[in-house]
């Protein structure tokens, strides 16, 4: 009849009390289990989504800060351009796996058609003015970062050679859809047109001044990586738009882009004398947008810290994972809420179980006194009570492991729906080089309350530890028991 | 001499003054003898027994067990290995059967106990007058006399030589009382135990080998 056996007998002989304790632990266990389930699920979302967002970083204008300025500040605002040397300097930092800088422009074409979405009947949209069907995207990093970072993948042909990039060779990588639409193959040439318009202030119309052709040879075909489910397409106007934009992107060397931009600017200035006068002798500089791909997601903070001081005023470092906070807002708010619930549930459990056990122990005061009068060590009497509580706790917690998880699933379903609705109206968007096609929908999709081993482990740990702590109050009671007073 | 009270002083603080229950008390107890401690209600009999059973400690003086201060042995250790205590209100564990109650101290003591504890417990109970069918009953389904027998069996379970009892028959009728007293006599005389029983019954005192009277803090002995 050692203390362990006594504990077992005590549980089985006093079923009423054991069941009451079990019920209390089960109910509180559900709260803890639910909260941990949600925490675990949101934690998983964070890793998945941050992984999806990648380790890209860029340096761009701090639009939010500029937006907040009042008018007088705005008037004095002078924005320096980002120096190419600085971009290269940042690119050499140890955190950077590879980097690129890019300049881009839009050109039209008279010979090839642009992709306008799947299944859409080709409606000839006739409009005056510069045609901007194709985005000419310059690159400096020959293998094309977009393809290396799996925004798209090369399905035919090849990427650039360093020499082609260096010399601004007239070669291009285009999307497979665009190629199919225009019956283009690797090795074929196609023609874009660079049109220079002037704006007539009297009638508000654009007028074609001059133009030149740009002939490019197709060296490779790419396909966007994220091909979405057709069924969803209707509700994803934004996604469609981004997809179309990407399908009509033509990768070329930066030099190709800047040469076209220079041509356009020079021709324009011939017409617009005012502007030419304003520009004076100033050289037309190219504006590059940098893109840095870091080695590890953990590097983002260190990278940001090191780069920020190097930047001109009004610029800031933007990481791809920065967007996590905005796209994952509904999940984040749930994570926060479940954190509070967890804290409250743990504290409540410690108090409630502590008091329930204490109440039961007062009933058993005589029994405890008997053990002590028989010379039993207080530590073993304490041990017996802890074992009794923990055995019931293991059962109660195991039961709530499943039910709490189910509870969390239905609670978070409701909350996510509510949050997602709120989300749509609130979002403010700024254009960013790192615009991602990972949306709040992706976040919600990757949110899954599951019975994974991590959750089970953490829940048992937190649950049992909480119950263990809750036995401290009653144990103080045992330690202070005086057997003489009880027995004699 | 198995037990000795040496210059015991025990008092309760009563405001500013001390109310002495035992003042410079000395007493010795031998194996094989049945002792009674007699005194009026409130005279301090229970207090004295609590000191002898190490459930309380004196302000000064010492209690020696086989020549060793029980403080040095350790109160808990002394209780689990050297003494069996019987209370007026039985103090059995209600969730356990009679035999389980007897088994409890067997797992607490460090004394040598035969391998087959359960058989020992049944035999002990049988010797005290509890048959097997009653031994397997939860103790609160036994009569007062039967419960006190179980308590005696429990006190004997650790194979100690010293038995202390505080008014063990206080809740029993006379017939039952005599049966219990007979057990104590047998334990002292046949099994060479030292049995010390607190009582306020002169009839019991007359049957003992030696009686101590406790009155106003003074313990006096009568053979
Ligand atoms: N904790 C205490 N504080 C103060 N006085 C106490 C305390 N416990 C007992 N007393 C007093 O000490 C005296 C002795 O008490 P004790 O219980 O030893 O008497 P007793 O001889 O066993 O009496 P009874 O025959 O009624 O059992 C009593 O007068 C009692 O009121
Ligand atoms: Mg008394």
pTM confidence score: 0.75
- Band the pLDDT of A230: cuts 50, 70, 90: very low
Q: Give the A-side interface with B, CB within 8 Å.
A: 1-3, 5-6, 9-10, 13-14, 366-367, 369-377, 483-484, 487-488
A159-170 pLDDT, tens digit per residue, is 888 888 888 889
Q: Residue A179 is inside which H or E element, if any? A: helix A176-181
CA-nearest residue to A363 within chain B is B94
Q: Residue A454 is inside which H or E element, if any? A: helix A453-470
pLDDT value of position A427: 46
ipTM over 0.85: yes
- Band the pLDDT of A302: cuts 50, 70, 90: confident
- Band the pLDDT of A446: cuts 50, 70, 90: confident
Q: Residue A155 is inside which H or E element, if any? A: strand A152-157
**pLDDT (mean) for A66-75:** 76
A325-350 pLDDT, tens digit per residue, is 777 777 888 888 889 999 999 999 99
8-state DSSP, B172: S
Q: Which is more confidently placed, A136 or A442?
A: A136
pLDDT value of position A437: 63
Sheet of B210-215: strands edge to edge?
A: B83-86, B162-166, B194-199, B34-39, B210-215, B218-222
pLDDT value of position A436: 62
When the pLDDT of each residue in chain A is averaged and rounded to a whole number, the result is 82
A232-278 pLDDT, tens digit per residue, is 444 445 556 777 888 888 999 888 888 888 888 888 888 777 777 77
CA-nearest residue to A483 within chain B is B55
**pLDDT (mean) for A277-291:** 72
The answer to whether residue A76 scores a pLDDT higher than 50 is yes
Q: Which is more confidently placed, A203 or A17?
A: A17
- Band the pLDDT of A435: cuts 50, 70, 90: low
Tally of CB atoms within 10 A around B177: 20
Beta carbons of A488 and B78 less than 8 Å apart: no
Contacts of B92 in chain A (CB under 8 A): 370
In this complex, is the C-beta atom of B92 within 8 Å of any C-beta atom belonging to chain A? yes
Ligand nearest to the CA of B165: 2
Q: Which is more confidently placed, A130 or A86?
A: A86
Phi, psi of B10 (to 5 degrees): -145, 130
The answer to whether residue A295 scores a pLDDT higher than 70 is yes
Which 30-59 residues of chain B touch chain A by CB within 8 A?
46, 49-50, 53, 55-56
In this complex, is the C-beta atom of B100 within 8 Å of any C-beta atom belonging to chain A? yes
pLDDT value of position A426: 45
Q: What is the distance between the alpha carbons of residues A399 and B84, in angstroms, rounded to a whole number?
A: 45
Q: From residue B110, how far is each of A376, B85, B125 by CA, in Å?
A: 11, 17, 21
Question: Which residues line ligand 1 at a C-beta cut-off of 6 Å?
Answer: B 12, 21, 39, 41-47, 200
Per-residue pLDDT tens listing for chain B (223 residues): 999 999 999 999 988 999 999 999 999 999 999 999 999 999 999 999 999 999 999 999 999 999 999 999 999 999 999 999 999 999 999 999 999 999 999 999 999 988 899 999 999 999 999 999 999 999 999 999 999 999 999 999 999 999 999 999 988 888 889 999 999 999 999 999 999 999 989 999 999 999 999 998 888 887 6
Q: Residue A206 is inside which H or E element, if any? A: strand A205-224
8-state DSSP, B214: E
Q: What is the distance between the alpha carbons of residues B130 and B149, in angstroms, rounded to a whole number?
A: 7
pLDDT value of position A373: 95
Which atom of ligand 1 is least distant from the CA of B41?
A: 25
Contacts of A366 in chain B (CB under 8 A): 91
- Of A413, A380, A385, A336, give the one whose Cα is nearest residue A17: A385
Which atom of ligand 1 is least distant from the CA of B198?
A: 22
pLDDT value of position B44: 92
The answer to whether residue A74 scores a pLDDT higher than 80 is no
CA-nearest residue to A485 within chain B is B55
- Chain A and chain B share a number of CB contacts under 8 A equal to 67
Beta carbons of B106 and A366 less than 8 Å apart: no
A9-34 pLDDT, tens digit per residue, is 999 999 999 999 999 999 999 999 99
């Amino acid at each position: 009849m050692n203390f362990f056996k006594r504990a077992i007998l005590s549980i089985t002989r006093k079923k009423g009390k054991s069941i009451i304790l079990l019920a209390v632990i089960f109910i509180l266990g559900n709260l803890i289990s639910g909260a941990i389930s949600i925490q675990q699920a949101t934690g998983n979302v964070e890793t998945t989504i941050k992984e999806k967002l990648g380790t890209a970083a860029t340096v761009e204008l701090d639009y939010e800060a500029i937006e907040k300025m009042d008018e007088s500040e705005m008037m004095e605002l002078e924005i320096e351009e980002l120096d190419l040397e600085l971009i290269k300097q940042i690119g050499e930092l140890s955190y950077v796996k590879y980097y690129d800088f890019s300049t881009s422009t839009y050109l039209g074409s008279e010979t090839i058609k642009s992709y306008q979405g799947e299944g859409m009947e080709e409606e000839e949209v006739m409009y005056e003015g510069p045609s901007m069907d194709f985005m000419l995207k310059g690159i400096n990093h020959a293998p094309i970062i977009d393809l290396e970072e799996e925004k798209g993948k090369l399905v035919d042909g090849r990427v650039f050679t360093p020499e082609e990039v260096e010399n601004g060779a007239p070669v291009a990588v285009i999307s497979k859809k665009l190629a199919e639409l225009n019956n283009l193959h690797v090795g074929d040439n196609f023609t874009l047109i660079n049109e220079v318009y002037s704006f007539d202030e009297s009638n508000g119309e654009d007028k074609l001044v001059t133009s030149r052709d740009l002939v490019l040879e197709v060296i490779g075909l790419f396909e966007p990586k994220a091909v979405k489910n057709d069924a969803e397409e209707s509700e994803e106007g934004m996604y469609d738009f981004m997809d179309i934009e990407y399908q009509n992107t033509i990768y070329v060397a930066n030099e190709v882009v800047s040469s076209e931009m220079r041509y356009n600017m020079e021709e324009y200035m011939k017409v617009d004398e005012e502007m030419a006068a304003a520009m004076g002798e100033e050289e037309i500089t190219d504006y590059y947008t940098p893109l840095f791909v870091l080695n590890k997601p953990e590097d983002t903070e260190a990278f940001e810290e090191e780069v920020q001081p190097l930047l001109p005023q009004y610029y800031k470092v933007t990481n791809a994972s920065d967007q996590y906070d905005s796209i994952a807002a509904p999940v984040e708010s749930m994570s926060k809420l479940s954190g509070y619930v967890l804290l409250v549930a743990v504290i409540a459990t410690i108090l409630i179980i502590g008091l329930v056990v204490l109440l039961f122990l007062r009933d058993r005061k005589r029994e405890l006194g008997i053990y002590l009068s028989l010379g039993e060590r207080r530590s073993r009497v304490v041990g017996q009570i802890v074992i009794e509580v923990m055995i019931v706790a293991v059962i109660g917690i195991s039961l709530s492991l499943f039910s709490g998880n189910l509870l969390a699933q239905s609670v978070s379903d409701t909350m996510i729906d509510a949050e997602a609705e709120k989300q749509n109206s609130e979002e403010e968007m700024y254009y960013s080089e790192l615009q991602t096609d990972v949306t709040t929908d992706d976040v919600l999709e990757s949110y899954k309350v599951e019975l994974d081993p991590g959750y089970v482990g953490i829940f048992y740990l937190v649950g049992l530890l909480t119950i263990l702590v809750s036995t401290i109050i009653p144990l103080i009671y045992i330690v202070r028991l005086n057997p003489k007073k009880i027995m004699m | 001499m198995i037990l000795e009270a040496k210059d015991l002083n025990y008092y309760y603080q009563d405001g500013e003054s001390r109310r002495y229950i035992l003042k410079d008390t000395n007493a010795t107890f031998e194996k094989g003898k049945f002792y009674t401690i007699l005194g009026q209600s409130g005279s301090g009999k229970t207090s004295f027994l609590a000191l002898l059973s190490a459930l309380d400690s004196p302000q000064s003086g010492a209690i020696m067990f086989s020549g060793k201060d029980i403080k040095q042995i350790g109160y808990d250790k002394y209780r689990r290995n050297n003494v069996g205590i019987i209370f007026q209100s039985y103090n059995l564990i209600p969730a356990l059967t009679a035999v389980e109650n007897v088994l409890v101290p067997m797992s607490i003591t460090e004394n040598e106990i035969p391998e087959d504890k359960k058989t020992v417990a049944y035999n002990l109970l049988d010797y005290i007058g509890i048959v097997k069918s009653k031994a397997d009953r939860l103790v609160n389904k036994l009569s007062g006399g039967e419960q006190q027998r179980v308590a005696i069996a429990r006190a004997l379970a650790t194979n100690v030589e010293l038995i202390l009892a505080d008014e063990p028959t206080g809740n029993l009728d006379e017939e039952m009382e005599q049966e219990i007293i007979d057990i104590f006599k047998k334990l002292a005389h046949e099994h060479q135990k030292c049995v010390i029983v607190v009582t306020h019954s002169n009839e019991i005192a007359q049957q003992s080998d030696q009686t101590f009277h406790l009155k106003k803090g003074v313990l006096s002995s009568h053979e």
